Amino acid sequence: MRLRHVGLPADQLAPHTDGWKHYLARLVVAGAGGDPGPDPHAGSDEEMR
């Protein structure tokens, strides 16, 4: 599967890249039946900017 997130303003590229890496790694763990544990980014206003 290929997922592309396009059309972001230049100043949002780095935060979105970091976010995708973080959440895709958690998805791999959950998809394999594991528990990725608490999300340190959950509820973070900064993460949503």
Distance CA 27, CA 12 (A): 22
Q: Which two tokens stand for residue 24?
A: 């895709």
> Do 47 and 19 meet the contact criterion of CB atoms below 8 Å apart?
yes
Distance CA 48, CA 25 (A): 18
The confidence score (pLDDT) of residue 36 equals: 96
Kindly report the pTM of this predicted structure: 0.73
The pLDDT tens digits of the residues spanning 5-45 come to 899 999 999 999 999 999 999 999 999 999 999 999 888 65
> Under 8 Å CB-to-CB from 37, ≥6 apart: which residues?
none
Count the alpha carbons within 13 Å of 6 in the hemisphere toward its beta carbon.
Answer: 3
The confidence score (pLDDT) of residue 33 equals: 98
